A = this chain, B = another copy of it.
Amino acid sequence: MNVDKVRALFEADAVAVIGASRDPSKTGHAILKNIVESGYKGRIYPINPKADEILGIKAYPSLKDVPDKVDLAVVVIPARFVPQVIEEAGEKGVKAAVIISGGFRETGTPEGRELERKLVEAAKKYGLRFLGPNCQGVNNPHKGLCASWPKITAKGPLAIISQSGTVAATFEIWAEKEGIGISKMAALGNKADINEIDLLEYLGRDPDTKAVGMYIEAVSDGRKFIQVASEVTKVKPVVVLKSGRTEAGAKAVASHTGSLAGSYKLYLAAFMKAGVIPVDSIEELYDVTKGLALLPRPKGKNVQIVTSSGGSGIISTDYVESLGLRMAKMSDDVREALRKELPSYCIVKNPLDLTGDADAERYDTALNHLFKDEDIDIIITIFGDPIPGAAEVIRKWFDKGKVVVPVYLGGGEVEDIEKGKMHSMGIPVYPTPERAVKVVKALWTYTSYLKRMSL
């Protein structure tokens, strides 16, 4: 079964690094170091014919010499040696390989294509499945298996599958810096064997993954993608950044991976059919994957804005309207109660402006009443000043029947502290109102899809 075939990529109990190097400038050193330093929970076998030990770990001249079972081979040697090494791995019963090495089909040379053909042949012979070649590896922080770079160890709910190692790394770095963390990362490379569809299928069943972000330039099999994505989106959100949308972009895709980018309109139609959420930038890929992983589902698209910053409230309002969401109409009861309890200079409308001297308690009062208003589905809660205690208020109201989306900006050191607290509690915070409203729009798109499908 497909899912089991790729499981060893992420969940191996023993990993060999073929081409592990003592030279710190080499990728074969960085990969081994990252696996060691990310606290890998299995056995590690550096393979290098010229070293007895690397980074304090006993090294072996070849895979054959390893006395134990090996589940995963990470390959970082020159391309011309790779087919032979995969052959050896197959003989040894290695289940899967990650082939970092470049120099195959992507070179556009007959030699490169021939090497890739031999590689595929060797793997098939033994039923060994591999990722790459020419890829930036895999990461599973839940097992401490960072067979990639940079070293990312923050465990979390976000998976990223990427045609670009850089996009994957950027996504991981943001998730680590924010304290949100990663469930799985896979960089696709040449996709000579395992492709984005195999990975998506696996991630759909991975309990550590709450949402899947993907950067793709082309899908390997459109029909299969829709079929698998439709199954996955039933249980967790899938967010896709697709490039190669313009003529020049499509040409660049052909040069990058030899794929046909295809019409973006057709892609959008396929995404809609499968419940996949399209996004338009790397930043949005991260924001939306994070939000869809962590936010509850709204009952409707009626948005109330609460803010200490009048300007941020207005900017949010423009975005809510222009993205096709709806500004909630506050009920008379709730309006009256708020007028009674809030200082007279607060503007009790939508946006609800608590003004610049608002403290956390005032937000609590506001949320307490807004939660009684049945017209409100989503509350974008903007902290626009240094407001200590913001995280506690959000925690109190998060996931209590309405969707609360916090935004924090302009708050200096207090902001950094409160944002950190929220992220560590698994609450997604956004740095600007615009970015938050885009996430809300995506959340509503996904929720509507599930409703339409009666899910």
Residues of A at the B interface (CB closer than 8 Å) are 27, 102-103, 106-107, 109, 136, 149-151, 162-170, 173, 215, 217, 241, 243-249, 251-253, 255-257, 280-283, 308-315, 317-318, 320-322, 327, 344-345, 347, 349, 351, 353, 355-357, 384-386, 409-413, 431-435
Cβ of B255 and Cβ of A311 under 8 Å apart? no
Question: What are the residues of chain B within 8 A of A314 when measuring CB–CB?
Answer: 217, 243-244, 249, 252-253, 256
A189: min CB distance to chain B, Å: 10
Partner of A248, one of B244, B321, B386, B432: B321
Quick one: which of B246, B283, B309 contacts A318, CB cutoff 8 A?
Answer: B246
Inter-chain CA distance A308–B251, complex, in Å, is 17
Contact partners of A431 in chain B: CB under 8 A? 283
Is there contact, CB below 8 Å, between A321 and B386? Answer: no
Q: Which of B106, B320, B356, B385 contacts A345 (CB 8 A)?
A: B106
A215 touches B166 (CB 8 A): no
- Bound CA span A255–B355, Å: 12
Q: Which residues of chain B are within 8 angstroms of A256 by Cβ–Cβ distance?
A: 310-311, 313-314, 347, 353
Q: Could you name 29 residue pairs across A and B whose Cβ atoms are closer than 8 Å?
A: A106-B345, A149-B386, A150-B411, A150-B413, A166-B385, A166-B409, A167-B309, A167-B312, A168-B410, A169-B412, A241-B315, A243-B314, A243-B315, A246-B322, A248-B318, A248-B320, A248-B321, A249-B315, A249-B317, A249-B318, A252-B313, A252-B317, A255-B310, A256-B310, A256-B313, A281-B435, A282-B409, A282-B433, A283-B434
In the docked arrangement, what's the CA distance between A355 and B410, Å?
Answer: 38
Asked whether, in the complex, the Cβ of B432 is within 8 Å of the Cβ of A255, the reply is no
Asked whether A164 lies within 8 Å of B355 as measured between CB atoms, the reply is no
Q: How far is the CA of A315 from the CA of B435 in the complex (A)?
A: 19
The answer for the CA separation of A308 and B167 in the assembled complex, in Å, is 12
